Amino acid sequence: HIAEVAADEAVRRGFRRIGITGTRWLVDSEVYPSRFAARGLEYRRPNARERDETGRVIMDELVNGIFSPEGVASFQRVIERMKAQEG
């Protein structure tokens, strides 16, 4: 499963905390968190507003081959906020 591969790679690279981005379905699920937790990794998820915006960018832009500066900036903001989150 891709979540297992991602978790193994995070451990191999020495990461301790992982940010999860994706569609709301994925981010709300335990698919990645369960694999990360099993390897002792912490994880962060976008907040509800960020999940909505990230899902919109994925479904309305990325799946249609659109890579707008606004969409990229949206992902960057989410990632930076998760990086700054304590824990």
pLDDT tens-digit map of 31-53: 999 999 999 999 999 999 999 99
DSSP secondary-structure letter at 63? G
Structural domain harbouring 23 = 2-84
The pTM (predicted TM-score) of the whole model is 0.82
Other C-beta atoms closer than 10 Å to the C-beta of 84 total: 8
Given this model, what pLDDT does residue 87 score? Answer: 62
- Say if residues 82 and 46 touch (Cβ distance below 8 Å): yes
17 backbone dihedrals φ, ψ, rounded to 5°: -135, 135
Count of domains for the chain: 1
Can you list the residues of the chain whose pLDDT is less than 70?
A: 87
Please report, for residues 30, 31, 49, 64, 66, the alpha-carbon distance to residue 45 in angstroms, rounded to integers and kept in the order given: 11, 12, 11, 24, 24
